[in-house]
Structure 1
C-alpha cells in the first residue's frame, strides 16, 4: 500500500503539471505536454535525495505564493465569481453522495505520502530532530489546506475546478501577470517534486529485485551510527548488471506514471483514490488497529475510528472509480 500510494502521488504530479501548462499554453494537448515532460523527469529520478530536497524548495515557494495570490485576487475583486467580498453561491448540505465520497479522499490526500518519511529521516543531518520537523510540517500543511480550500470555495462555489489555479487564469477581473507567474511556478513545482516522491518507491523496488540491500533504521539509530555499512557493495559484472537493471526500472516506472496520468486524466479522481484507498488505511485504520493489537483490547473510541475509517475508505474509493469511469 505504501508503494501504491507513492505511485499515485507521482501520477498526480504529472497530471498537475499537464493541466497547469495546458492552461498557460493551450497550443498542444495535455497528453502531448505529459509525454514531453519525460525528457525532464527521467534525469531527476537518478538524483540523490540530498540534491532533490533543494529543488523541492520551488514547490514550497509556489505553494506559499499560491496562497498569497488567492487571497490577493479574492479581496481585490468586488463581485463574484472570484471575490471573497461577494462570495459565490455555496451549499452547507450534501448535494451529491458521490461527491461526498470524493471529498473524503480529497481531505485525506493532503496527509498522504508516508513512504517518503523514512527516506527523509535517513537523509537528515540530525535525525533526532525528525519528530519536531514532521509535527511542524503537518501543522503548517493543515493551515494551508484550510486557507486554500475555504477561500477557493467561497470565491468560486460549486463551479470551482479540480485545480483552483485554472480558475485564477480563466476568471476575468484578476491580474493576468500575477496569476500567470503563480501558474508557472505550479508547472515547475510537480517537476521538482517528482524525483523526491519516486525515490523511496524506486529504492523499494530495487530491494525487491535484489539490486539494493539498504536497511531501514530509526532516526535515533541513524544518529547513533551515521557511518554504519550493513552490506558490501558488489563488484565487476554483478555491479554493472545491477546498475543496468536499476536504470531500466527507474525509466520504466517514470513512463508508467505518465501513461496512467494520460489514461486517468481527472485530477480530483486520482486525489480521491490516493486519499481514500491509501491514506485512510495507512493513517487512520492501520495505526489504531496496531494499537488495539498491542494492547489486546478495543475501546469504544478505537472501534468508532476504525469503523468510520473503513466506511470512508470504501465510500471514497468507489466514488473515485465511479467519477473516473
Structure 2
C-alpha cells in the first residue's frame, strides 16, 4: 500500500480478489458511457435527486423504437418482455450497490469489474462501452437524417454529412458546455413523448389515431420478430454504468434500493405507454421510429412535423458530441504517447483524432441505416451484457461463499439464459 502523501495511488488488496490500481481505473473512465460522465461531478445527492438523475439516464431515444418492438412481439409477449426487462434490470442495479458494499474504495462499474476479474475484465468493459458509444452515436446520425429526410425529401446522405460536421465542430467544446447541451437533449426527449400523444388525440381517423386505433396483434408473426423485440425492449434500460456512482453519491445510501424501484417503475410506465400508444396509432404499419411514422402519415397538422423535426434535430446535436467524447479522449491519450505523432502540434493531432472518429461514425451510419436494427443490436449485444450478465457475474464472484446452493444455481441459470437471449437477439438483427 502506498504511503500517505506519495504520488502513487493506493492499491486495494484482497486475498479473494485480484489486485488493481486506480491508474487503470482512470483509463477505464474514458471508455465509460456518456451517461456516466454527465454525473461525475455531482455533489452528495438526496433520494429525490438520485431518482431524478436515474430517470434522466434511462429515458432517452430508445423509447422511440418501442412501438416497433410491440409490433414485433405482439401485445402479450411484448408486455411480458418489457416488464421482465424492467424487473431484471432493477434487480441487477441493486446488486451493483451490494457489490460496492464489499469494499469502500470501489466507486464505479469498472472498479467492480476489475475487483472481480482483473485486467482482462477491464479490457472487456472498455470494449463493451466502446461499442455502446459507437452504436449510440450511429443512432443519433440516423435519427437526424431520417427526421429531416421525412420533412424535406432531401437525400439522407446530405443530412448525415451535416450532423457529422456538427459532431466534429462541437467535439472541441469543453465538457461543462456540453453538459448544458445534454440537459437540452433531455428536455427534447420529454417534449417528443408529449408530441406523440397529442398527435394521437388530434387525428380522428387511422392510421395515426388513438380515437380510432389501427389493427394490432396479440402474438408475434414468427420467432425472428420475437427475438428482434428483445433488444428493442432492453435498450431503454441500459443505464447500469452510472448506478454505482449514483449509490456512492447518495447522502443516505440506505434509501438506494427504494430509489431504484421508483426509477425503474416510472421508466417502465413511460416506456409501456409509448410502446402501447404508438402501436395503437399505427399498428403493423409502425416504422422503426414512431416520430418517422407521424411525419410520413398525412392528416396531421403541418406544424407538428416542424416541431418534431426541430426536436429530433436538436436531440442528436445535443448528445452526439458527448457520445463521441470518451472515444476521442482515449485516442488523444494514445497518440500523445507515440513519438511519431509528437512531431506534430498538439492542436493538429487533436483535430486529426476528432476527424478520424467522426469519419468512423459517419461511414458506419451508411452501413447501419435502420434505427430499429441499431436499437435492437444495442439492446441485445450490449444491454444484456452490461445490465444483466456482468452484474450477476460480479455478484456471484464476490458473494459466492455467502450464498446458498439454490441462490448460486438460480444466478448461474439466469446468466446462461441471458447469454442465450443476447445471442438470439443479436443473431436476429444480423439476419434481417
Shorter chain as denominator, the TM-score bin is 0.7 to 0.9
Q: Report 1:64-103 matches (<5 A).
A: 64-103=190-229
Distance 1:303-1:34 versus aligned 2 partners, 3 A rule:
same
Distance 1:258-1:86 versus aligned 2 partners, 3 A rule:
same
Is contact 1:74–1:83 with CA below 8 Å preserved after alignment? yes
Out of 251, 255, 260, the position equivalent to 2:364 is 260
Is contact 1:121–1:130 with CA below 8 Å preserved after alignment? no
Is contact 1:79–1:85 with CA below 8 Å preserved after alignment? yes
Corresponding residue SS for 1:56: helix
TM-superposed deviation, 1:195? 1.0
- Per mean C-alpha deviation after superposition, the further-off stretch among 2-11 and 173-182 is 173-182
2:427 equivalent in structure 1: 318
* TM norm structure 1: 0.80
1:159 equivalent in structure 2: 285
* TM norm structure 2: 0.61
Aligned: 1:301 with 2:410: yes
2:131 equivalent in structure 1: 4
Q: Deviations over 1:131-157 (max 9, x none)?
A: 87x957666544432222111011111
Distance 1:164-1:130 versus aligned 2 partners, 3 A rule:
farther
Q: Deviations over 1:39-98 (max 9, x none)?
A: 211011122221111112332222222221211121222322111122111111121221
1:286 equivalent in structure 2: 390
TM-superposed deviation, 1:6? 0.9
Is contact 1:6–1:113 with CA below 8 Å preserved after alignment? no
Corresponding residue SS for 1:83: coil
Distance 1:130-1:318 versus aligned 2 partners, 3 A rule:
farther
TM-superposed deviation, 1:130? 11
Aligned: 1:18 with 2:18: no
Is contact 1:13–1:190 with CA below 8 Å preserved after alignment? yes
- Per mean C-alpha deviation after superposition, the further-off stretch among 240-249 and 105-114 is 240-249
Counterpart-to-counterpart distance in 1, 2:346 and 2:236: 35
Structure 1 segments of 4+ aligned residues over 6 angstroms from their partners:
129-132
Distance 1:52-1:15 versus aligned 2 partners, 3 A rule:
same
TM-superposed deviation, 1:5? 0.8
1:228 equivalent in structure 2: none
1:226 equivalent in structure 2: none
Is contact 1:81–1:87 with CA below 8 Å preserved after alignment? yes
TM-superposed deviation, 1:302? 1.5
Distance 1:254-1:302 versus aligned 2 partners, 3 A rule:
same
Q: Report 1:83-232 matches (<5 A).
A: 83-112=209-238, 117=242, 127-128=249-250, 135=260, 141-207=267-333, 209=334, 211=336
Q: Deviations over 1:266-308 (max 9, x none)?
A: 1111111111111101110110011111122553431332122
1:250 equivalent in structure 2: 354
1:62 equivalent in structure 2: 188
TM-superposed deviation, 1:241? 5.0
Is contact 1:5–1:113 with CA below 8 Å preserved after alignment? no
Is contact 1:77–1:174 with CA below 8 Å preserved after alignment? yes
1:232 equivalent in structure 2: none
Distance 1:174-1:8 versus aligned 2 partners, 3 A rule:
same
Is contact 1:87–1:155 with CA below 8 Å preserved after alignment? yes
Which sections of structure 2, spanning at least 5 residues, go unmatched? 1-127
Counterpart-to-counterpart distance in 2, 1:66 and 1:21: 15
TM-superposed deviation, 1:249? 1.8
Corresponding residue SS for 2:299: coil
Is contact 2:227–2:425 with CA below 8 Å preserved after alignment? yes
User: What number of residue pairs does the alignment pair up?
Assistant: 291
Superposed CA RMSD: 2.9
Out of 21, 29, 34, the position equivalent to 2:155 is 29
